[in-house]
Chains A and B, each alone.
Chain A
Amino acid sequence: MAQRAWDQRDLRQDERRLCDDQMMAEAHDNPLESYVRAALALQGYTFDDAEIAEIVEQFARLEGIARTVFDWPLPFASEAAPVFRP
């Protein structure tokens, strides 16, 4: 059963890759959209153009917020907040 699911997913990914070549060419002028399309493909998602447009819009919001974080001065050696407790 698990193998069958993997096989089906591979088929869908193959179909998607064919489409993505065209889409990536069209998105070439928009780095953010290009990134989203590439990251979606890399992570195994399959969406139509309307769905991708929604995701691009949401990712653009995140990217805007990320700028605030990157503009914030941090000491070079500052560490991330810990989450792992062995």
Chain B
Amino acid sequence: MAAAVCLGSGAGVPALIGSAADIVLEIAKGARSAADVLAECKALILAKDPDLNCFTAKTFERAGREAAAIDGLYALGKPLPPLAGVPYAVKNLFDVEGLVTLAGAKINAGNAPASADATIVARMRRAGAVLVGALNMEELAYGFLTENHHYGTTRNPHDRTRGAGGSSGGSAAAVGAGMLPITLGSDTSGSIRVPASLCGVFGLKPTYGRLSRSGTYPFVNSFDHVGPFANSVSGLALSYDAMQGPDAFDPACAQRAVEPVGASLSLPRGIRIGILGGWFHAWADPAARRAVQLAAAALGATEWTELESAEVARAAAYLITGAEGGALHRPRLIEQYEDFGPSSRARLVAGSLIPATWVIQAQRVRQQAYAQAMELFDRFDLLIAAAAPAVAPRIGQETLVINGRSIPTKAGLGVLTQPISCIGLPVCTVPLWPGEGESPAERSLPVGVQLIGAPWREDLCLAAARTLEQAGIAEIRPPP
């Protein structure tokens, strides 16, 4: 059967896989089988991954069984589930039955394989999605690059001399390279939004507590979120709907019923959209500012506003992250310090020394920052800001210079995302191509824009993303 949704490369391997919605439709119509889609996906992975280093494990045998189950349902004329035959992969901090959950760390390599799938991996399976592997990430999710000391650097599909961002770098690069329509990642301080921005893909960080983290390797319980990447807004929505629902095994998971967004992705009339200035403008370079400007114009947003507590919310997030991450890993830092990567071990130890007064003050600040954000949502339904301060940095680049101010790359890439995840707001990141930069290479790279909603309003974030996608402002571009 024909690979109708793919752009042909002329070399027997298509350039990009299609969207999840297209794949579902083609399988439902009988135009392709789930086995056909899987074969195409495997060919793309085998052709592209050696250059990019997105995968740490491939689960093609399991994928074959899952695809065959879908084709069996089709053959029997039974109804197909919502993600029937859609291939996907997960950041390697999600439990996958039979695989060791690495979380990007050597210290986990000797652990026993997971005995069951993480809750949201199991939900994806029940929705008919086909798991093809586990993806590279920053060690223990601590940092905004995926330059992993143990498992290698994940390269940016749009410029292999540059990084994919992190910590979910493998998840973003696999979608940006056209290998997969959907991947899963986690976001503690920006680890979905930053790599989505750098790799030019769509990403959704839902409200804190919306999606279950049960069966995922923890980093900072106060901030850990999970969510999807996709090559289309409909892909985000389909997977988000499939993964929703309460889960008693994650104490932070909200006991809310599923609130599906799939059928209602249109912006309500009269929606009030504010553009975040202040901190968010100061830490956005000309390319990032241009991306915000393009998105704002397309959404009809003209009013600037400020989240006054953005800087202090970021500082609070930094301290809580250090303290909780350091406390989590302290026993093994004592016993196995040499087995941690050199870029994370001293930071983790330093975090474990943070005094309680700093953490308590940071949690008080966090609560106040949340209250300030809620006041903003009295005036606006949605807020816009850049997702990263600049385009993807070169691999090994230690410093970012943003509007004349220097900041270490590893921490600085999250300067615009940390204040938002600190207070748990839902965000959809969309890929824009501002065409700004000092070199032709920089001008060809994407910058993401955050569409930020009030708690539990993922529907508005996704609807705004869909509006930008339909307008051709936010789009997936094939890598060179």
Q: Do A and B bind each other?
A: yes
Listed in ascending order, the chain A residues whose CB lies under 8 Å from chain B are 35-36, 39-40, 43-47, 51, 54-55, 57-59, 61-62, 65-66, 68-70, 72, 74, 78-81, 83, 85
Contact B364 A80 (CB under 8 A): yes
The tally of CB-CB contacts under 8 A between chains A and B is 92
Q: Say yes or no: A55 contacts B319, CB within 8 Å.
A: no
Known: A45-B334, A51-B346. A72 touches B353 (CB 8 A): no
Can you give 5 contacting A-B residue pairs, CB < 8 Å?
A: A40-B349, A58-B349, A62-B318, A66-B315, A80-B363
Chain A residues whose C-beta falls within 8 Å of the C-beta of B352 in the assembled complex: 43
In the bound complex, CA of A69 to CA of B313 (Å): 8
Chain B interface, DSSP helix/strand/loop, else mixed: helix
Complex Cα gap A80–B366 (Å):
7
A58 touches B346 (CB 8 A): yes
Known: A51-B346, A69-B358. A74 touches B221 (CB 8 A): no
Q: Are B368 and A78 in contact (CB under 8 A)?
A: yes
Q: A43-B353, A80-B367 are in contact. Are A58 and B347 (CB under 8 A)?
A: yes
| Shortest distance from the beta carbon of B410 to any chain A beta carbon, whole Å | 11
- Besides the contacts A62-B318, A69-B312, A70-B361, what 15 more A-B pairs have beta carbons closer than 8 Å? A43-B330, A44-B334, A45-B349, A46-B334, A58-B350, A62-B322, A65-B319, A66-B358, A70-B358, A72-B365, A74-B368, A81-B222, A81-B370, A83-B222, A83-B252
Contacts of B312 in A (CB 8 A): 68-69, 72
B residues adjacent to A (C-beta < 8 A): 221-222, 251-252, 309, 311-312, 315-316, 318-319, 322, 330, 333-334, 337, 346-347, 349-354, 358, 360-368, 370
Given known contacts A36-B353, A58-B350, is B251 in contact with A85 (CB within 8 Å)? yes
List B contacts of A81 (CB < 8 A). Answer: 222, 363-364, 366-367, 370
Residues in A with CB closer than 8 Å to B334 are 43-46
Q: Chain B residues near A40: list those with CB within 8 A.
A: 349, 353
Residues on the A chain within 8 Å of B319, using CB: 62, 65-66, 69
A54 to B346, CA, bound (A): 6
From known contacts A66-B315, A85-B251, infer whether A78 and B353 are also in contact, taking CB-CB under 8 Å.
no
Residues of A within 8 A of B363 (CB): 80-81, 83
In the complex, chain A residues whose CB is within 8 Å of the CB of B364: 74, 78-81
Task: Return the chain B residue nearest A5 by Cβ.
Answer: B335
Q: Nearest Cβ in chain A — how far from B436, in angstroms?
A: 30
Separation of A51 and B333 alpha carbons in the complex (Å): 12
By beta carbon, the residue of chain B nearest A71 is B312
What CA separation (Å) do A38 and B246 show in the bound complex? 44
Give the distance to chain B from A14, nearest Cβ to Cβ, in Å: 15
